[in-house]
Amino acid sequence: MLDQRLLRDNPELITEQLGRRGMTLDLTGLQLIAKQARDLEEQRSNLQAEGNRIGKDVGLKIKAGAAANGPEVQALRDQGNRIKQQVAVLEEEEKALDAKLREQLLTLPNLPSPEAPNGSSETDNIEIKRWGTPRVEEGLQEHWQIAERLGLFETERSVRIAQSRFVTLMGQGARLERALISFMLDLHGTKGYREVMPPILVNSASLTGSGQLPKFAEESFRCAEDDLWLTPTAEVPVTSLHRDEVIPAEQLPLKYVAYTPCFRREAGSYGRDTRGLIRLHQFNKVELYWFCHPEHSAEAHQQITADAEAVLEALELPYRKIELCTGDMGFSASRTYDLEVWLPGAGSYREISSCSVCGDFQARRSAIRLKDGKATQLVHTLNGSGLAVGRTMAALLETGQQADGSVQLPAALVPYFGAERVTTP
């Protein structure tokens, strides 16, 4: 969430920076609400100070010999009670204005970093680097064709269980998914991440704190009888691990890795993506998340991205690193690197990880601060997929496909899967 002080004191900066995202804003109404809220706060503060002064005067009068129930003291008490009533009224008005202001500020995205490249769409994204040699051959199959032949997942039977855009992993497919999850968690554990397995159901406050609500309510699955939602990403519950907390500066950075199933409505008609593991309503993901000191967030962004890259390199999967332009970044991000893995069967790169620094945007929404000496300030948060498991499996199947119909696995994954190849059952 954007800082109210910035709205009051420098609205032009907000208009300019969100303009880089392609937004056209008129902040006049929000400014008026913010000014009214500040004026009420000043009135309330002045009245409270006056009330405190009167309370001290009562004590001094009694100490000087005035009767506690005498008219002089009673007049002061009556005055103090009137001030308390006025303060109570102002507090209610202030709460109402603050709630109205917060409600509108929650709909505005994060300001892009000055380093984020300007642009209006994915065509303006910038390629930073490539790693590995993409496999390019005629006749290579796509992952869903390989999976069907090897019996790795069921789609038609999954429709009976749920609906379209769900899959049931079977046999070696389920084993390969489990192997990938364990491999990723172990690898990140060696890099200092603390493993957590958070609740999959999250409340509205958690979704609001991480930036999913109110904007993306239609893309999430909600439980009808409770204030609970199926998490769209582990970023949501991990953000709320420290909601409403003050973290001692010496404990930073806090680095977490979390595996969760994720649920999103966004999957729809995406051509070839309607088959296979690329876009599903339910998918598994290993998420990286940092809470860090603001002075170190730029460095942390490079590191969290490198940690996600390390998974691809260990699995011998060629990829490219893209910096997203301002018009293509996510709602909570101020700067983002995407990692796109090469899919030989499809003959294209596809996103497999998005690593973002969010500055204090999520921390302000979630009231997460750090204490450095006597001073407190908002922490910075970062998140990145490390990796999306289904898409990783898709890349492995297409990259490792062999002439005999089997799939050769990278050496790093063999101890987890228990075999060097995925073969016909």
For the question of residue 351 being annotated catalytic, the response is yes
Measured CA angle at 239 (ends 237, 245), to 5 deg = 115
Is-contact 151 176, C-beta < 8 A?
A: no
Q: How far apart are CA 324 and CA 123, in angstroms?
A: 9
For the question of residue 275 being annotated catalytic, the response is no
Q: Which of 20, 356, 391, 398 is catalytic?
A: 391
Cis preceding-peptide flag for 248 (omega within 30 of 0): no
Q: Which of 21, 264, 335, 365 is catalytic?
A: 264
Q: How far apart are CA 417 and CA 393, in angstroms?
A: 12
Q: Return the H-helix or E-strand segment holding 127.
A: strand 126-131
Q: How far apart are CA 153 and CA 282, in angstroms?
A: 14
Query: Residue 319 gets which letter from DSSP?
Result: E
List helix spans (H) across 227-360.
235-239, 297-314
Q: Which of 351, 406, 420, 421 is catalytic?
A: 351
Q: Which of 20, 21, 279, 364 is catalytic?
A: 279
Q: How far apart are CA 38 and CA 18, in angstroms?
A: 24
Is-contact 291 251, C-beta < 8 A?
A: no
Q: Which of 220, 332, 353, 354 is catalytic?
A: 354
Amino acid at 79: Q
For the question of residue 265 being annotated catalytic, the response is no
Q: How far apart are CA 74 and CA 155, in angstroms?
A: 80
For the question of residue 243 being annotated catalytic, the response is no
CB-based burial of residue 294 (10 Å sphere; 0-12 exposed, 13-18 middle, 19+ buried)?
Answer: middle
Q: How far apart are CA 98 and CA 298, in angstroms?
A: 32
How far does the chain reach from its first CA to its final CA, in angstroms?
52
β-sheet bridge partners, residue 287: 258, 385
Q: How far apart are CA 362 and CA 381, in angstroms?
A: 7
Taking alpha carbons only, the member of 290, 249, 283, 288 closest to residue 266 is 283
Residues with a known catalytic role: 264, 279, 351, 354, 391
